[in-house]
Amino acid sequence: MENKIIDGKSISSQIKAEVKTETDKLKSEKGITPGLAFILVGENPASKVYVKSKGKACEELGFHSVTETLPENVSEEVLLELISKFNDDEKIHGILTQLPLPAHLNQQRVIESLNYKKDVDGFHPLNAGRMVLGEKCFIPCTPYGIVELLKRSNAETEGKNVVVIGRSNIVGKPVANLLMTTKFNSTVTVCHSKTKNIKDISSRADILIAAIGKANFVTKDFIKEGCVIIDVGINRIEDKTKKNGFRMVGDVDFEDCFDKCGKITPVPGGVGPMTIAMLMKNTLDSAKGLIYE
């Protein structure tokens, strides 16, 4: 059973250990400490948890980090001023404005206000465009984590048919564009809510990436024998057998698909841990000047 499971916890731990080694070397040889600034707007519980987890990872790896918390009703002007301050701070190599933002703030304007050389989330249009062109850039952390899972689990991408279910700007679109570059050479089809015959299309995939946000949406009828499944979904469903009354599941029905697939990521413990690991990797690369001089 174990050789089928793509263990995101284990792989993310490997990556963080590599980042820690490189960080220690950067600090001792050049006196540079990777610095990451977090901006948290409002009281979104999930956002608070994510920022806390990212801050903890910074501490473990020896990064310098700072978290600025702003009220829910903060003006866009105040938020942009804070971003500008971090843009100019030489000790900060990466800036992360935790999404989603409150509705009164223009999310795209906020993203575009970041110095693209510190955009370790990979959401700035310049980084997005460079990724499509196959040029050096910051890659969005979840798609970056997905391709690392594929690579480190020895899943071949070149010439393979990849189906991505979901077209979000955070996962679906960037991972599709990434896998089409000459680094991976996959043939990619993107399905979404308006796609007809999703089941038929996905059943031809060598690699299926599910990022649609619907619990247990993908069943064994969606997949072909031996395919590789990357489940990006995180959904909470009722489970009275659990103390808290719910459990977390992905967009893929894990138990239904397990016997038929070749490899699969679990939820939790698959893609999730990789997102933070790749954020740390992006920040280290920024501090080293590997992406932009």
pLDDT, tens digit, 9 for 90 and up, residues 225-242? 999 999 999 888 777 777
pLDDT, tens digit, 9 for 90 and up, residues 2-61? 589 999 999 999 999 999 999 999 999 999 999 999 999 999 888 999 999 999 999 999
Instruction: List where CATH 3.40.50.720 sits in the chain.
Output: 141-272
| Cis preceding linkage at 100, omega within 30 | yes
| CATH class name, domain 30-118 | alpha beta
Residue-level pLDDT at 91: 97
Helix axes 141-152, 8-30, angle to 10 degrees: 110
Query: Which fold is adopted by the domain 141-272?
Result: Rossmann fold (3.40.50)
Picking from 75-89, 179-193, 230-244, which range would have the lowest pLDDT averaged per residue? Answer: 230-244
Q: Give catalytic residue positions.
A: 54, 98, 121
Instruction: List where CATH 3.40.50.10860 sits in the chain.
Output: 30-118
Q: Give the 3-state secondary structure percentages of the chain, helix then strand then coil, rounded to 5.
A: 45, 15, 40
Look over the chain and give the mean of its residue pLDDT values, rounded to a whole number: 95
Residue-level pLDDT at 247: 84
Q: What is the pTM of this model?
A: 0.94
Backbone angles phi, psi at 224, to 5 degrees: -100, 160
Closest by alpha carbon to 46, among 281, 269, 248?
248
pLDDT, tens digit, 9 for 90 and up, residues 127-174? 999 999 989 999 999 999 999 999 999 999 999 999 999 999 999 999
pLDDT category at 254 given cuts 50, 70, 90 is very high
